[in-house]
Amino acid sequence: MTKDEMIAYMAEHSSISKKQATDALQAFMDGVTKQLQDETKVSFSGFGTFSVSHRKARAGRNPQTGETIQIPASRVPVFKAGKRLKEAIKK
């Protein structure tokens, strides 16, 4: 599903305009992004949790040349599905 398809789905199922659905979706994404930048977890009971994971620096290998390279430490977003979401997918 693309962003445009999600906006259309939200508008149809919430009886709001596509403009309002666009604004709501953008506000949601901005809110989650801001909280993750501040390293704050964002939890939706039953749905899941967005958080930030820290990856340590490590040595890697260039697959084309075989040369060893240093991969720097990084922060990456993580989503862990909640119980209700997991159960809904199984069905």
Residue extents of the structural domains in the chain? 3-90
Give the per-residue pLDDT at 68.
96
Give the per-residue pLDDT at 53.
97
pTM value is 0.82
Give the per-residue pLDDT at 59.
96
| Amino acid making up residue 18 | K
DSSP state of 2: -
Q: Quick check: 60 and 68 in contact, CB under 8 A?
A: yes
User: How does strand 48-55 pair with strand 74-81?
Assistant: antiparallel
pLDDT reading at 38 higher than 90 = yes
Residue 8 phi, psi dihedral angles, 5° rounding? -65, -40
Q: Which CATH superfamily, name and number, covers 3-90?
A: IHF-like DNA-binding proteins (4.10.520.10)
pLDDT reading at 91 higher than 80 = no
